[in-house]
């Protein structure tokens, strides 16, 4: 319960920062930070990470400092469907043109496609290791940087301090490649 309260507190702080950035965007003092201050931007691409989803990604960056990203996908093979889905809220600390340094909070759900295993069904033998993921739910926060590698392509690299639902905390990398459009 305590970890859920902490996570809810972090989300509340991000939403408060989003409100502050909205007021900053209304101020009109963007200077050399024109790209994210002119209008909202959408992006589609691919995300790979163990915190906020893996697969096809969609992102929305409204006018100002706050952004949102959804990622997910699945692959079929073997026993079932392995899948991941996640969400990430991002807050920009600094940017120049389309490159930016940001912090984020996120969460995700991962499954390796293994169904319920029972000895009675014959899907699991006594004494064998259970192949299901021990921590399908993850949550965390981190820092990232985004490089504009062309006029429309963005490469993202980040480190997420990830909490796994069985109690482990690990710093893990994430990468993404997105096509931005208006």
Nearest to 174 by CA among 148, 151, 141: 141
- Tokens read off for 30: 């963007």
HEC per residue, the chain: CHHHHHHHHHHHHHHHHHHHHHHHHHHCCCCCCCHHHHCCEEEEEEEEECCCCCEEEEEEECCCCEEEEEEEEEEEECCEEEEEEEEEEEEEEEEECCEEEEEEEEEEEEECCCCCCCCCCCCCCCCCCCCCCCCCEEEEEEEEEEEECCCCEEEEEEEEEEEECCCCEEEEEEEEEEEEEC
Is there a contact between 61 and 43 (Cβ–Cβ < 8 Å)? yes
The answer to whether 64 touches 22, Cβ cutoff 8 Å, is yes
Count of CB atoms situated within 10 Å of the CB of 26: 10
Specify the higher pLDDT residue, 29 or 125: 125
pLDDT of residue 67: 94
How do residues 5-18 score in pLDDT, each as one tens digit? 555 666 655 555 55
The residues, ordered by sequence, that sit 6+ positions from 180 with a Cβ below 8 Å of its Cβ are 41, 42, 43, 98, 152, 153, 154
pLDDT tens for 97-130 read 888 999 999 999 988 766 555 545 555 556 555 5
Which of 81-90, 106-115, 127-136, 155-164 has the least mean pLDDT? 127-136
Average pLDDT over residues 172-178: 95
Beta-strand relationship, 153-164 and 169-181: antiparallel
């Amino acid at each position: 319960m305590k970890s859920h309260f902490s996570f809810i507190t972090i989300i509340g702080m991000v939403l408060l920062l989003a409100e502050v950035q909205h007021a900053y965007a209304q101020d009109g003092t963007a200077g050399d930070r024109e790209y994210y201050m002119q209008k909202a931007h959408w992006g589609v691409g691919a995300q790979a990470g163990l915190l906020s989803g893996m697969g096809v990604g969609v992102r929305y960056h409204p006018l100002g400092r706050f952004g949102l990203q959804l990622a997910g996908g699945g692959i079929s093979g073997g026993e079932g469907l392995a899948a991941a889905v996640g969400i990430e809220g991002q807050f920009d600390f600094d940017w120049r043109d389309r490159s930016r340094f940001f912090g984020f909070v996120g969460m995700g759900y991962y499954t390796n496609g293994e169904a319920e295993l029972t000895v009675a069904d014959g899907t699991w033998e006594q004494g064998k290791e259970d192949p299901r993921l021990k921590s399908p739910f993850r949550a965390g926060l981190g820092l990232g940087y985004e490089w504009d590698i062309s006029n429309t392509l963005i490469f993202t690299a980040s480190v997420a301090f990830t909490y796994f639902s069985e109690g482990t905390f690990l710093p893990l990398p994430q990468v993404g490649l997105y096509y931005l459009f208006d």
